[in-house]
Amino acid sequence: MSVENMHDPRARLVREKYFSLRPRPLERWLWAQGIPASAERVFWLHWQEGLQRRDWCSEIPLKRVARECCLDPSTVTRAYQLLARLGCLRRTDPGRDAANPFQQATAITEVRVPRELLQELGRHPNRRSDSSPQPQPPETPAAVDPHSPTSAAAARPKDPFGGLRGRERIQALQKLLRLMSPVEESHYREAARLHQSYMEFGADSKLSAEQRGRVLQFLACLAIEPVAAPTRMAPVLPAAKGPRKLSIFELARLKRDIQAVTGVQDGPELLQQVVWSIEEGSLLRFSPLHASHIAVKKIREGAWTRPHRMPPNWARRLDAPLQTCRRA
Strands 108-111 and 57-58, how do they pair?
antiparallel
Rounded to whole angstroms, the Cα distance separating 235 from 198 reads 17
> Phi first, then psi: what are they for 136, rounded to 5°?
-110, 150
Looking at residue 144, what is its pLDDT?
A: 42
Give yes or no for residue 154 having a pLDDT over 50: no
Among 258, 251, 215, residue whose Cα is nearest residue 233? 215
Dump pLDDT digits (tens) for 21-56.
889 999 999 999 999 999 999 999 999 988 888 888
State the span(s) of the chain assigned CATH 1.10.10.10: 17-118
Dihedral sign for Cα atoms in the order 248, 250, 256, 258: negative
- Kindly give, in sequence order, each residue whose CB lies less than 8 Å from that of residue 130, ignoring residues fewer than 6 positions away: none
Rounded to whole angstroms, the Cα distance separating 42 from 84 reads 12
- End-to-end CA separation in angstroms for the chain: 27
CB 60 within 8 A of CB 108: no
Rounded to whole angstroms, the Cα distance separating 62 from 72 reads 10
**pTM surpassing 0.75?**
no
Secondary structure of residue 25 in the 3-state scheme? helix
76-97 core/surface letters (b: 16 or more CB in 10 A; e: else):
bebbbebbeebebbeebbbbbe
Provide mean pLDDT across the span 216-221.
82
Model confidence at 206, in pLDDT bands (50, 70, 90)? Answer: confident
Q: What is the mean pLDDT of the chain?
A: 77
What is the rounded radius of gyration, in angstroms, for the C-alpha atoms of the chain?
Answer: 25
Model confidence at 216, in pLDDT bands (50, 70, 90)? Answer: confident
Looking at residue 156, what is its pLDDT?
A: 64
- Cα-to-chain-centroid distance, residue 49: 16
Rounded to whole angstroms, the Cα distance separating 259 from 105 reads 12
| Amino acid sitting at position 29 | W
Which residues on neighbouring strands pair with residue 158, listed in sequence order?
Answer: none
CB 276 within 8 A of CB 115: no
Dump pLDDT digits (tens) for 230-242.
444 444 444 444 5
* 17-118 carries CATH number 1.10.10.10: yes
Give yes or no for residue 168 having a pLDDT over 80: no
- Residues 53, 58, 61, 64: what is their CA dihedral angle, to the nearest 10 degrees? 50
